[in-house]
Amino acid sequence: MIEIIDAASGNRVVTAIEFLSSTNKLAGPGRDEYLRKRQEYRQAGANLVEIDLTRQGPRQEVLPLASIPPQHRATYLVCVTRAKPKFRLEYYPVSLRSRLPSFRVPLRPQDRDVVLRLQPLVEQAYVNGRYSALDYRRPLVPDLDRDDAVWVEGLLPS
């Protein structure tokens, strides 16, 4: 969780940015804690940015699938909940096959949004986290859909 704080107003959280994990999404104490914290941000009038780059676990708490028209559904998502106007949602679908989006992060009502460029951030995490050492040929859980599986297979070295 990244919190953007307004020091001039007693260190009030203006915006929280959460990169969801399986722990946030699967039933258990981690999910319960995340939902509690999420409710606290809403009650405090903070903006909330939820970045879901995991395929595991339900998305119900971020943005119910039924509320997204089928033609706009994607493997991943970014959901920005603005405290003002009253809990307005912005949805950024993220396809497995495309670069990650840049999106606007709300601050205080009188401030301009800042743009978060997600692709360079994740690329740097990939380098720093030594993800290149992982075996990407192992079966994925959950499985990719057929078209995405064919696309990924074409990316992997023999």
- pLDDT value, residue 158: 61
For residue range 36-67, list pLDDT tens digits in order: 999 999 999 999 999 998 888 876 666 777 88
To the nearest whole number, what is the mean pLDDT of the chain? 88
Report the pLDDT value the prediction gives residue 11, as an integer from 0 to 100: 92
**Residue pLDDT, tens place only, 90-104:** 999 998 899 999 999
- Is a pLDDT exceeding 90 seen at residue 113? yes
CB 88 within 8 A of CB 155: no
Output the pLDDT for position 117. 94
- Chain segment 6-21, per-residue pLDDT in tens: 998 889 999 999 999 8
Query: What residue ranges do the domains of the chain occupy?
Result: 2-117
CA angle 112, 60, 38 (to 5 degrees): 50
In the block, tokens 């998502």 appear at 77
Question: Which bin fits 95, alpha (ψ -120 to 50), beta or left (φ > 0)?
Answer: beta
pTM of the model: 0.87
